[in-house]
Chains A and B, each alone.
Chain A
């Protein structure tokens, strides 16, 4: 029992954060349904049709909704599916954090120095995560029940519970797969390898909805078995066999991870990677890049830059490939034709690309900024900031250089993904306005800097909590734009959301006011973090 409690203690912020996120996001979506869906059957039917059209644009991410004109169908599509992805990210981070992060920090070694077997250690951590994700899922279910009560309805309790256990099973399957992969590869590559594998499995399933060639492979993906159930809407279903397949993946994956852990050395991977021979050296690196401010930081992050650029380029490529299919789906709905002709003025391809690709790109650029803030926090905790400040280098210079490094990296990633988008759309016969595409890609840079500015401020205020707080800020910003119309939020509050400020530049061009506000927010974050850094204690 004590190892399980210790595991829960180590992951308490994840438990609290994801439970809060689950509860609030599902509550917001549920309560929001009653604000926007109308009250009469006709209004709800019209709302359901518009949601179906919206869902068609996101077919590469989520399965088509069932009965989106009902609160269950709407929340399943807008709340539960995105939450499922979020919980999978949590599972990934928790599993690799245990398998490799705790190992690097010596926690695993200290635990194994007690009379605890490796298998017992893996089992206790898996049990701790099971409890944590069960709590988070229960919180999400509670959000639905409370939201439905706001609408003076009573939810289908069985459907809610089925959704809860589905989320737990999906999270545990992802946890087990991540834990197993983390045993196979070297420590540094564990998160990237497990993340890449989960992303690949997710894409195999989601792209198989549009690409027939992938249908034969989707049985490999746990997300396929999650997709087979939609228990919340009326007429929905809970596929018991698919649920047990997810449970089996979790059990077998965890057992395989435990077995692999017993067969490898601490600090090593199960698959041996030969150490690269490096000649003995007593000289500093002759590389001149280490001496140039900003360039040295970009150079140090060169592998990350490469990975982000390649990943974003691949995602851009995939979204252009899907655009024609999505447009065909949209055009096949007669009820949508008047809407399309009025609102997108024959620019249906830029409109669809704007909704699909740019929605994902915004989330990824926010994630890019968060990863940099995580690094700033880590530098504070692991003593690197103290070492930097022991050089003749001012605190202001540290903050400015950090932001400049992120600016350069965001610029490179935006430029490469924008170029791929342009070339691929040209090859697909999709006519994009080159000027707007350049402007749109460039807009992603200040967008990322808004989060970086907030992150710099948080890192100066509370480095250990900065990532969690920034994640919450990003989440709130995302909900801000999603729910602004639902809850009629004041304009000034909406304007604090970078998602709202980003707008639809591919369709309507860059809005000068929004761009100015984004730059102002980033500069405000930068300026206040410089001021705070001057007076704060480092290493205390």
Chain B
């Protein structure tokens, strides 16, 4: 039986003063689109950075395709496409140079694939990174994550800064990838986005996973109800659903 795309066990990153991520047990299966919901500072980005091997866990473990996220970080990243929460700054490099630079680190770039992605999102790679609007910087991040056709996509608020048309195009792209066999782990604040594209959703609050639900079990309306119930003191908390 193949290893799950993502598996974490008691994964903890303790920043002190109650901040961080605590005892995360999670399993994301192949070809699943998993949405990670939570308010600002809940621990979504910490989880993603732990999976990407950027952070060293205080306790517990995280595996991607059976590989340890910290010990086997290089091998993990051969199979992962990543969009960070904050688009990195590439200064005066042009978009085409950024693609060649990071593609070169993967041993080469599929030019046809890059062309196709840029045409879909109407991204001009001839311009300097510093001249890009925030939306165009996000489009470049999407191109960088998808250009290698990765087996797993780890996306931290991937549609931030995109206009509605490009957001729809991104959802289409994501579904295509899922249909081609890719797994997706994405964090988002947008409930309708999660409802559109995710198979399963996890809600995180103050560093702890508090709820996991199959999307087909909930409608958009009660997803919002569930989400708000965790972050509004006056509403009763629903029972945890089995993952």
Question: CB within 8 Å of B: which residues of A?
Answer: 188, 278-287, 290-292, 296, 300, 382-384, 386-395, 535-540
> Is A391 a contact of B111 with CB atoms below 8 Å?
no
> Is B88 a contact of A391 with CB atoms below 8 Å?
no
With A278-B126, A535-B56 as known contacts, state yes or no: A291 contacts B93, CB within 8 Å. Answer: no
Query: Chain A's nearest CB lies how many Å from the CB of B12?
Result: 14
Closest to B119 in A: A282
Interface mask (B54-90 → A, CB under 8 Å = 1, otherwise 0): 1110000000000000000111011010101011111
> Is A392 a contact of B77 with CB atoms below 8 Å?
yes
> Is A386 a contact of B54 with CB atoms below 8 Å?
yes
CB of B96 within 8 Å of the partner chain: yes
List of A residues within 8 angstroms of B94 by Cβ: 278, 281, 285
A535 to B73, CA, bound (A): 12
**Which of A278, A300, A538 is in CB contact (< 8 Å) with B55?**
A538
List of A residues within 8 angstroms of B53 by Cβ: 389
> Is A539 a contact of B54 with CB atoms below 8 Å?
yes
List of B residues within 8 angstroms of A281 by Cβ: 94-96, 124-126
Interface mask (B119-134 → A, CB under 8 Å = 1, otherwise 0): 1000111110000000
Stretch at the interface among B99-107, B173-181, B217-225, B233-241: B99-107
List of B residues within 8 angstroms of A538 by Cβ: 49, 54-55
CB of B215 within 8 Å of the partner chain: no
> Is A390 a contact of B77 with CB atoms below 8 Å?
yes
List of A residues within 8 angstroms of B82 by Cβ: 387, 390
A383-B86, A391-B77, A535-B56 known; 9 new pairs, CB 8 Å cut-off, are A280-B124, A283-B111, A283-B115, A284-B109, A287-B97, A382-B89, A383-B87, A393-B74, A540-B49
A-B contact pairs, 10 of them (CB 8 A): A278-B127, A281-B95, A282-B125, A283-B114, A287-B97, A383-B87, A384-B89, A386-B88, A390-B84, A392-B105
List of A residues within 8 angstroms of B114 by Cβ: 282-284
Closest to B145 in A: A390
Chain B residues numbered 154-182 whose CB sits less than 8 Å from any CB in chain A: none
> Is A540 a contact of B96 with CB atoms below 8 Å?
no
List of B residues within 8 angstroms of A391 by Cβ: 77, 102, 105-106
A95 to B75, CA, bound (A): 46
> Is A296 a contact of B87 with CB atoms below 8 Å?
no
> Is B126 a contact of A280 with CB atoms below 8 Å?
yes
List of A residues within 8 angstroms of B115 by Cβ: 282-283
A390 to B54, CA, bound (A): 8
List of B residues within 8 angstroms of A382 by Cβ: 88-89
Query: Chain B's nearest CB lies how many Å from the CB of A286?
Result: 8
| Interface residue count on the B side (C-beta < 8 Å) | 49
CB of B108 within 8 Å of the partner chain: yes
A285 to B123, CA, bound (A): 14
A300 to B104, CA, bound (A): 14
Query: Chain B's nearest CB lies how many Å from the CB of A466?
Result: 18
Query: Chain A's nearest CB lies how many Å from the CB of B2?
Result: 21
Query: Chain B's nearest CB lies how many Å from the CB of A323?
Result: 39
Query: Chain A's nearest CB lies how many Å from the CB of B56?
Result: 6
Closest to A382 in B: B89
A395 to B53, CA, bound (A): 10
CB of B28 within 8 Å of the partner chain: no
List of A residues within 8 angstroms of B243 by Cβ: none
Which residue, A282, A382, A395, A537, has most C-beta atoms of chain B within 10 A? Answer: A282
List of A residues within 8 angstroms of B111 by Cβ: 283-284
> Is A290 a contact of B77 with CB atoms below 8 Å?
no
CB of B213 within 8 Å of the partner chain: no
List of A residues within 8 angstroms of B105 by Cβ: 388, 391-393
Closest to A290 in B: B100
> Is A285 a contact of B96 with CB atoms below 8 Å?
yes
Query: Chain A's nearest CB lies how many Å from the CB of B66?
Result: 16
With A383-B86, A540-B49 as known contacts, state yes or no: A285 contacts B56, CB within 8 Å. Answer: no
> Is B55 a contact of A540 with CB atoms below 8 Å?
yes
CB of B52 within 8 Å of the partner chain: yes
Closest 9 CB pairs of A and B: A383-B88, A291-B104, A281-B126, A282-B118, A285-B100, A290-B100, A382-B89, A391-B105, A284-B99
Query: Chain B's nearest CB lies how many Å from the CB of A338?
Result: 57
A370 to B74, CA, bound (A): 29
> Is A284 a contact of B96 with CB atoms below 8 Å?
yes
> Is B56 a contact of A537 with CB atoms below 8 Å?
yes
List of B residues within 8 angstroms of A300 by Cβ: 93, 101
CB of B92 within 8 Å of the partner chain: yes
Which residue, B100, B101, B119, B124, has most C-beta atoms of chain A within 10 A? Answer: B101
> Is B78 a contact of A392 with CB atoms below 8 Å?
yes
List of B residues within 8 angstroms of A540 by Cβ: 15, 46, 49, 54-55
Closest to A267 in B: B130
List of B residues within 8 angstroms of A394 by Cβ: 73-74
Query: Chain B's nearest CB lies how many Å from the CB of A327?
Result: 45
List of A residues within 8 angstroms of B97 by Cβ: 285, 287, 290
Query: Chain A's nearest CB lies how many Å from the CB of B96?
Result: 4
Query: Chain B's nearest CB lies how many Å from the CB of A210?
Result: 39
Closest to B79 in A: A392
A386 to B82, CA, bound (A): 10
List of A residues within 8 angstroms of B74 by Cβ: 392-394
List of A residues within 8 angstroms of B106 by Cβ: 391-392
**Which of B84, B96, B126 is in CB contact (< 8 Å) with A386?**
B84
**Which of A283, A287, A390 is in CB contact (< 8 Å) with B52?**
A390
List of A residues within 8 angstroms of B84 by Cβ: 383, 386-387, 390, 539
Closest to B117 in A: A282
> Is B101 a contact of A296 with CB atoms below 8 Å?
yes
A387 to B82, CA, bound (A): 8
A392 to B82, CA, bound (A): 12
With A383-B87, A383-B89 as known contacts, state yes or no: A279 contacts B101, CB within 8 Å. Answer: no
Query: Chain A's nearest CB lies how many Å from the CB of B18?
Result: 16
Query: Chain A's nearest CB lies how many Å from the CB of B59?
Result: 15
List of B residues within 8 angstroms of A279 by Cβ: 126
A524 to B88, CA, bound (A): 30
Closest to B81 in A: A390
A330 to B46, CA, bound (A): 65
List of A residues within 8 angstroms of B104 by Cβ: 290-292, 296
A282 to B121, CA, bound (A): 10
**Which of B56, B78, B88, B100 is in CB contact (< 8 Å) with A387?**
B88
A390 to B51, CA, bound (A): 11
List of A residues within 8 angstroms of B80 by Cβ: 390
A393 to B56, CA, bound (A): 17
List of A residues within 8 angstroms of B77 by Cβ: 389-393
